[in-house]
Structure 1
Amino acid sequence: MRRLEKRSGRLADWTRALLTRRHSNVVACALANKLARTAWAIIARHTTFDPGLAKAPA
């Protein structure tokens, strides 16, 4: 989250939006959880990450 202002993309946008509503420690935990779930899904499905296939935020 230190270099978030230099990042672009959906994950960075999601993190910035969450930072406006929650404390930075909560955002760090939520980000770690999101990345861990993504990594688990990739490993469990024996696939590679394709950001184009990710669902758009509702």
Structure 2
Amino acid sequence: MSQFVYGIDLAKHSFSIHGEDHQGKVLIQKIISSSKVHSTFANIPPAIIGM
């Protein structure tokens, strides 16, 4: 099982991303454009992603 969890709030033009490690430490918290979702998640270790 992954030690990282990411949540994505889906919207039409921008997505809010919040990620934490297994201890609850925030890894990422930002808003990105829909065109950057693939490149953002291509550069992180395998994780659980909830939408």
Normalising by the smaller structure, the TM-score range is 0.3 to 0.5
Look at both structures and tell me which one has the larger radius of gyration over its CA atoms.
Answer: 1
Q: TM-score, normalised by structure 1?
A: 0.30
Q: Which has the higher contact order (CA 8 A, sep 6+)?
A: 2
Q: TM-score, normalised by structure 2?
A: 0.32
Structure with the largest fraction of helix: 1
Structure with the largest fraction of strand: 2
